[in-house]
Structure 1
Amino acid sequence: MSVLGRSELTFKSYARNIAAMALHFGKIRTELDVEQVQEYFFLLQKRSKTPSQTYFKHTVYGLRFLLKSERLPYEFLHLPSIKHEKKLPTVLSKEEVWRLLKSCHLLKHKVLIGLLYGCGLRCMEVRSLRLQDLDFDRLQLKVVQGKGKKDRYVPLSQHLIRGLKSYIEAEKPQIYLFNGQPAGRAGGDFDSRYSQRGVQWAVKQACKVAGITKDVCVHTLRHTFATHLLEDGLDIISLKNLLGHENIETTMEYLHIAQLDTQKAFSPLDTLFAKCSSNGSVH
């Protein structure tokens, strides 16, 4: 998995799901027959207290990788195909982003959300951000080995730089911009990254205080970054580079969300009322 460039998170997910299946039957996966595999998939989909669909998909992906490693075809266990749902992401308005920033009580959380939205960073990217990756003179931030093992540069807003300088002066981080708790060392050096759960909690708490009822996650701020840049006039190629996308097709999905002046959608009720109300036809 390492040679193929899979992340540690992917490895843990595959291993956890395949191990659970082995423990359920008391056998290694390649000793199972097709009926047992189908029975297990049925149990995963019917599980009520866990996000079974996600668990189900990760189990299938893990088994696919296992069979591939053993040079066995997918048909060996009659693995089902996974249908990819076509869902458009949730996007915040600029007013909602402003409320989100204003609702942060801690400067750390305000800077964190400012980076997620203002630079379009993924959760792992903002957690891995080091002091040496910030270039205030050139107004840019270096994302080191983002998704796809690629580096990229993104611009830093002057407003965000002021917040970053205040935060660094107050918190005095050493290696990572956002430090985690020192493991097993009371009062030790903060040399670990801020946890994924900590980032998620900060975003959820800010949404709660701001009164935002949309289904918001950390990645929502990245979607909002891309959509707002398109609406502000940035071209699609430049946006692709800022997001670090491999294919332009991935970036072009935001064209379905952005409300561009040249193709901004509207309701026919607007023109109906504009035309008929002036003639006194509608009361």
Structure 2
Amino acid sequence: MSSLREQMIQQMQLRGYSQQTIASYLNSIQTLSKHYNQSPDELTWDQIRLFIQRELIEKQISQSYINQLISALKILFVQILHREWDPIAIPRARLQKKLPVVLSTVEVERLLHALSNLKHRTLLYVAYSSGLRLGELRALKLSDIDSSRMQIRVVQGKGNKDRYTILSQKALEQLRFYYKYFRPSVWLFETSKGVAMSERTIQQVFKNALGKSGITKKVSIHSLRHSFATHLMEQGVSLAIIQQLLGHKSLRTTSIYLHVQQYALNKVKSPLDFLAV
């Protein structure tokens, strides 16, 4: 698969795919190829369909993973092998629409207070206050913090697009305190070796904070991004602004937070109360 692999990498790089997406696509095809012990270009539609059915039914693999495999196969078969794709033989899985799990503002406070480690606490401050993805948080550099405009520049976010998000005043104060003690040189959150903190380490930081906080919800560090968006919406920030801050391509993606926002019932007034009757 080596030559096919190189061609796939080149094709995806030309399309502007992120390194994470390229790695995921290659891994999914490699799993399929190993299952049959055959080169992927030798596989039949029936073999691919049977593999997908097995993954869905026996292993209960997520439908999004199956669609990822199908997208990778389409690049291989159509763009590289120049074969005609059969959407009937290999249909995409219908994704279940699941609402994101979010933390309340009280729970976020508990989470941030749970850590005594200055670097780890600052990391979570920035993650929540700016609504960053895990990869974006890891890739932050000192030069991305614009305190004069109170913004954070997100370089090459999802879809390889740069954007700006907000810099919280409290997060800035925390960052200044953190910088005074750690003096990072390039990366905002770097190790003692001067390299960016790994995504796995960041995930472990969140997991440790979650355990110490006593919060029992099934959440990940990405839930801080969901919570950021939901809490902004509950404050009355427009959907379009939240879309811009999150870096969503489609407003439809952002609109999912309409379903998870919560309003205090005692603050909601009947329209009758505004009438002169």
Q: Residues 46-105 of structure 1: CA distance to partner in whole angstroms, max 9, x if unpaired?
A: 555x95766544333321221222232332892232111101101110000000000012
Instruction: Determine the structure 1 residue equivalent to 2:223.
Output: 220
Q: How does 1:245-264 map to 2 (within 5 A)?
A: 245-260=248-263
Quick one: which of 63, 77, 95 aligns to 2:73?
Answer: 63
Instruction: Determine the structure 2 residue equivalent to 1:156.
Output: 167
Q: How does 1:100-119 map to 2 (within 5 A)?
A: 100-119=111-130
Contact residue 107 and residue 167 of structure 1 kept, 8 A: yes
Q: How does 1:1-283 map to 2 (within 5 A)?
A: 1-46=12-57, 48=59, 56-69=66-79, 70-75=81-86, 78-180=89-191, 182=193, 190=194, 192-260=195-263
Contact residue 227 and residue 258 of structure 1 kept, 8 A: yes
The AA in structure 1 aligned to 2:140 is L
Separation (CA, whole Å) in 1 of partners of 2:210 and 2:89: 43
Across the aligned residues of Structure 1 and Structure 2, the Cα RMSD in angstroms comes to 2.6
Q: Residues 145-166 of structure 1: CA distance to partner in whole angstroms, max 9, x if unpaired?
A: 2122222222222211111011
The AA in structure 2 aligned to 1:204 is K
- Runs of 5+ in structure 2 lacking a partner? 1-11, 269-277
Separation (CA, whole Å) in 2 of partners of 1:262 and 1:247: 30
- Report the more deviating stretch, 152-161 or 226-235: 152-161
Note the C-alpha offset of 1:239: 1.6
Radius of gyration: which is bigger?
A: 1
The AA in structure 2 aligned to 1:7 is S
The AA in structure 2 aligned to 1:130 is K
**Matched residue of 2:28: which SS?**
helix
**Matched residue of 2:131: which SS?**
coil
**Matched residue of 2:13: which SS?**
coil
Separation (CA, whole Å) in 2 of partners of 1:235 and 1:140: 18
The AA in structure 1 aligned to 2:156 is Q
**Matched residue of 1:145: which SS?**
coil
* Structure 2 CA distance for partners of 1:74 and 1:181, relative to 1, 3 Å: farther
- Runs of 5+ in structure 1 lacking a partner? 183-189, 266-283
**Matched residue of 2:189: which SS?**
coil
Contact residue 63 and residue 94 of structure 2 kept, 8 A: no
The AA in structure 2 aligned to 1:157 is S
**Matched residue of 1:118: which SS?**
helix
Separation (CA, whole Å) in 1 of partners of 2:121 and 2:166: 18
Give me the TM-score of the superposition, normalised by structure 1: 0.82
Identity rate of aligned residues, in percent? 37
* Structure 2 CA distance for partners of 1:44 and 1:253, relative to 1, 3 Å: closer
Separation (CA, whole Å) in 2 of partners of 1:263 and 1:90: 24
Q: Residues 200-239 of structure 1: CA distance to partner in whole angstroms, max 9, x if unpaired?
A: 1111111111011111112111110011111112122222
Separation (CA, whole Å) in 2 of partners of 1:257 and 1:135: 31
* Structure 2 CA distance for partners of 1:119 and 1:35, relative to 1, 3 Å: same
- Report the more deviating stretch, 157-166 or 19-28: 19-28
Separation (CA, whole Å) in 2 of partners of 1:52 and 1:7: 21
**Matched residue of 1:126: which SS?**
helix
Separation (CA, whole Å) in 2 of partners of 1:259 and 1:132: 36
Give me the TM-score of the superposition, normalised by structure 2: 0.83
Note the C-alpha offset of 1:173: 0.8
**Matched residue of 1:24: which SS?**
helix
The AA in structure 1 aligned to 2:205 is A
Note the C-alpha offset of 1:242: 1.3
Note the C-alpha offset of 1:44: 2.6
Note the C-alpha offset of 1:248: 1.8
Separation (CA, whole Å) in 2 of partners of 1:219 and 1:64: 29
